[in-house]
Amino acid sequence: MTRTVTVGLDGSPESRAAAEWAAREAALRGLPLKIVHVWEPVPQPVAQAPLPGGETRQRWTEEVSREAAEGLRLRHPGVEVVTDRLTGSPVDALTEAADSAELMVLGSRGFGGITGFVVGSVSLAVLAHAERPVVLVRAGEQAADEHKADPAGVPSTATPFRPVVLGLDLGTPDETLLGFAFDAAARRGASLRVVHGWSGPPASFHHLHGDAGLHDQLARGQAKALTELLRSWRQKFPDVEAIEASRCGSAAQVLVDASRETSLVVVGRRVRTSPLGAHIGHVAHAVLHHVVAPVAVVPHG
């Protein structure tokens, strides 16, 4: 079965921005773009009631998908665009679609004047349960936003891509996550900024042991571990400039701070078998709510 870049479309501004981003990603990967619209049937008692507008709404949603596909074909002539209309629960349908895709792209409403996302319940549920990477794109995302500013200070698609940023936990590094991030940077011809936040010992420890150089010793150890971890990946992707950023502090805050002026932020999500809970770690949560760039959440074991 041919893999696709799949996008969930509901006609909202955020889903339209996601569709544009997905088309650009499909071009980078040389894959078809699949537009998925989920039709959620009304409950049986409601369906039997003489309420007007149901058929009109259905025709409208079909028209939205058709017009979106035609527009994307015109703006991205090298990308094959197909549509798929699914029926059922949006969460279940989109999660199933995500699992058969190379990656799923979903829209999420931005805060407006404040950077970041308002993550809806559907997007959050798909993120939590999909077995393939899911990318969240805010409303208003433009192609030029992913690129460095031109000499006049204006973002332009004619300039190189901004860096890709990867949030990495040295305690549980995963090859799927690292591979996704290096591959994304390579396809964009961009550098990869690998960010690791670590916690230092409490102040009482310094007081008891009187070791003023302990922090520097820990910092050197963390930086060395990050360098060693990336050694083989630099060999696999020799054209990708991997920039290390090992900082003492909250992993979430360190990653958010490092994710300004970037084309894509990549974070991991550990797969959990329990049906309870959101299944999204606090670092991913922080990035989803406070980073303005598209965010890729990569599930791993």
Give the pLDDT confidence score for residue 115 in this predicted structure.
47
d(CA 174, CA 170): 9
pLDDT tens, residue by residue, 100-146: 999 999 998 654 444 455 556 788 889 989 999 999 999 889 999 99
Of 187, 191, 168, 185, which Cα lies nearest the Cα of 268? 168
Give the pLDDT confidence score for residue 12 in this predicted structure.
87
How many CB atoms within 10 Å of residue 156? 13
Give the pLDDT confidence score for residue 154 in this predicted structure.
87
Give the pLDDT confidence score for residue 285 in this predicted structure.
87
Tokens of 151: 């000499």
pLDDT tens, residue by residue, 60-97: 667 888 999 999 999 999 999 999 988 888 999 999 99
Give the pLDDT confidence score for residue 166 in this predicted structure.
98
d(CA 36, CA 44): 24
Give the pLDDT confidence score for residue 25 in this predicted structure.
98
pLDDT tens, residue by residue, 197-250: 988 766 544 444 556 577 788 889 999 999 999 999 999 999 999 999 999 999
Give the pLDDT confidence score for residue 230 in this predicted structure.
97
Tokens of 275: 């049906």
Q: What is the pTM of this model?
A: 0.88
pLDDT tens, residue by residue, 255-284: 999 999 999 999 999 886 655 555 688 898
Give the pLDDT confidence score for residue 223 in this predicted structure.
93
CA atoms within 13 A on the CB side of 114: 5
Q: Is 52's pLDDT higher than 60?
A: no
**For the chain, percent of residues with pLDDT exceeding 90:** 60
DSSP characters for 120-185? -HHHHHHHHH-SS-EEEEETT--GGGGB-B-TTS-B-TTSPBPPEEEE--TTS--HHHHHHHHHHH
Give the pLDDT confidence score for residue 95 in this predicted structure.
94
How many CB atoms within 10 Å of residue 159? 15
Looking at per-residue confidence, does 27 or 215 come out higher? 27
Beta bridge partners of 104: 6, 134
d(CA 179, CA 127): 19
Give the pLDDT confidence score for residue 112 in this predicted structure.
43
Q: State the pLDDT confidence band at 171, using cuts at 50, 70 and 90.
A: confident
Looking at per-residue confidence, does 31 or 213 come out higher? 31
Give the pLDDT confidence score for residue 110 in this predicted structure.
54
